[in-house]
């Protein structure tokens, strides 16, 4: 197929793909009255595209039904401003996600002024604090200007594990791009900074597993910061194959998960690249 014919095929595929299924045949008959081969090729591509969508949608539904993280969450009751966790005093809630509740906090002992984000880890994993201590050096090596650092870990008085992270005052990368009306070149420049941070983490043998816009915040000065790097590594139970481990291994946001994550397969750096 020459370049001109390929462009025509691509154009028809895109235009037909935007039409309701009952209108596609009439559209293709009108556009290709004397070219049955081209029409058949477009129809074949549309069928493959539809099958792919149905396959992925089915996997997402399976994951949503199977993961059922809400049944395994702990510490879901909101904490009040002023409550203390370790040496920190809570200021307010920042957000909630599949792995926990995040609070803005500040030093409670007034030794020095510092604001941090504290995540109460929802997944019930034995030994997460001990694991943090073992892997602290690896996570400490993730010193990169575009990665929010994981600073410390501990256990609340109620026995809930928590992680102390660098506080990033920013907004999700997709909203930032829209609000700032960035052009393609500016968006690509921002994207390359994110890629450099992901590559740096991979060089330190850390895979994120849940890269998505809400985990990539952009500060007021235009610097992207990747959140939660290393947390999946902390809660992954080495070598175990029990049900809780499999649930942990499948922590993800289905809309942004790689095919192997949706299938429950092995997660590698390729999952982050996807």
* C-alpha to C-alpha distance for 81 and 166, rounded to whole angstroms: 19
| Rounded Cα gap, residues 194 and 170, in angstroms | 15
210 is catalytic: yes
How does strand 161-166 pair with strand 150-155? antiparallel
- Residues 197-227: b if buried by 16+ CB within 10 A, e if exposed: bbebbbebebbbbbbbbbbbbbeeeeebbbb
Q: Which of 109, 210, 243, 272 is catalytic?
A: 210
Residue 240 burial (CB count, 10 A)? 12
Characterize 50-62 residue by residue with b for buried, 16 or more Cβ atoms within 10 angstroms of its Cβ, and e for exposed: eeeeeeeeebeee
SS3 category, 134 = helix
Residue 265: CB atoms within 10 A of its CB come to: 13
Tally DSSP H helices, then E strands, for the chain.
10, 9
State the virtual CA torsion across 68, 172, 232, 113 in degrees, nearest 10: -120
Cα–Cα distance measured from residue 232 to residue 99, given in angstroms and rounded to the nearest whole number: 9
Known catalytic residues? 210
């Amino acid at each position: 197929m020459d370049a001109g014919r390929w462009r025509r095929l691509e154009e028809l595929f895109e235009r037909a793909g935007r039409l309701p299924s009952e209108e596609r045949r009439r559209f293709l008959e009108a556009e290709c009255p004397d070219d049955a081969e081209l029409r058949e090729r477009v129809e074949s591509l549309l069928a493959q595209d539809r099958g792919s969508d149905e396959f992925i949608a089915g996997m997402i539904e399976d994951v949503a039904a199977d993961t059922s993280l809400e049944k395994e969450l702990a510490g879901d009751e909101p904490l009040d401003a002023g409550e203390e966790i370790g040496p920190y005093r809570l200021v307010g809630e920042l957000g909630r996600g599949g792995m926990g509740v995040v609070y803005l906090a500040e030093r409670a002992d007034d030794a020095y002024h510092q604001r941090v984000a504290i995540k109460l880890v929802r997944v019930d994993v034995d030994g997460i604090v001990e694991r943090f201590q073992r892997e602290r050096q690896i996570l400490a090596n993730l010193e990169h200007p575009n990665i929010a650092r994981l600073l410390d870990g501990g256990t609340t008085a109620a026995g809930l594990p928590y992680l102390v992270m660098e506080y990033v005052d920013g907004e999700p990368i997709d909203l930032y791009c829209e609000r700032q009306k960035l052009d393609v070149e500016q968006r690509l420049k921002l994207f390359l900074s994110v890629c450099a941070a992901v590559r740096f983490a991979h060089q330190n043998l850390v895979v994120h597993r849940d890269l998505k816009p809400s985990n990539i915040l952009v500060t007021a000065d235009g610097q992207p910061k990747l959140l939660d790097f290393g947390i999946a590594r902390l809660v992954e139970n080495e070598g175990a194959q029990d049900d809780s481990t499999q649930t942990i291994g499948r922590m993800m946001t289905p809309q942004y998960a790689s095919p192997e994550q949706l299938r429950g397969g092995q997660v590698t750096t390729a999952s982050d690249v996807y």
